[in-house]
Structure 1
Amino acid sequence: MSGDLPEYFFRIRENGAVVFRIDTENRQRRIEMEEIAVVNVKNGNVKPHGDRKLSPEETRLIAKWTTERQALLAERDIDDILRAVDHMNMTTQWVQTRATDAQLEQVTDNLLLSMHDLRTVLVRKKAERIMKAEEAEG
């Protein structure tokens, strides 16, 4: 089993990960996890654990993981939004075909305000993109 383990492990947390170096080459043949750093994926900061100095290989490995993690999270964001579009469509169908008056009374105001807020932001962002594109052309 120990031959199959990676040399480093990234314990995911809300804004990044805690990075551990895996050691199986000890007298007890136990898996030991030495914390070496904390990574913030949002801003790219890497804080070595304690007084530890990261090796160039560790720094490269952490930077590679951070880039891959940021890409994965960006993909998940888009997937979440596309799922939200699907869910909005299913909500429309529910309102149209199955919702009772009591259920509609419970959700209508929140849905209308959320949709109005979203529409306002989308229209503003689209206008900003159009203006930027026109400035780039002219």
Structure 2
Amino acid sequence: MNTQFTITELAREFDVTPRAIRFYEDQGLLSPSREGSSGLRRVYSARDRTRLKLTLRGKRLGFTLSEIRDLLDVYESPTDTVPQLHAFLATVARHRDVLERQLEDLNATLEDLAQYEAQARVLLENGTRETRHA
């Protein structure tokens, strides 16, 4: 497996723009090394790739960049950091609650839509029958 990646490779793999990757770097979520005579060419490690993957997953789940940074720090820290683990669990619990409420709302909305759809189909069917019999 490749242990070094260019910004273009990561952008393509994760379907994000190089600008987004540079933004995450500016936010301290990624820390590529620099290569080339001018030091402008970014080289991302397997660690950076994993951090980008987790960052994008966290964003999809509604985590703030600050929360993602904290979670990444816990992910990479020794396992005996009790305060960090408590903070991690609190963040996860908050987001779980939000997602569960959103899921309940989505399920209720889907049920409402199914009822409206069924009613509309009945009205269409009745209207079609009445038109045929007229």
TM-score by length of 1: 0.37
- Judging by fraction of residues, say which structure has more helix: 2
Ranked by relative contact order (alpha carbons within 8 Å, sequence separation 6 or more), the top structure is 2
TM-score by length of 2: 0.38
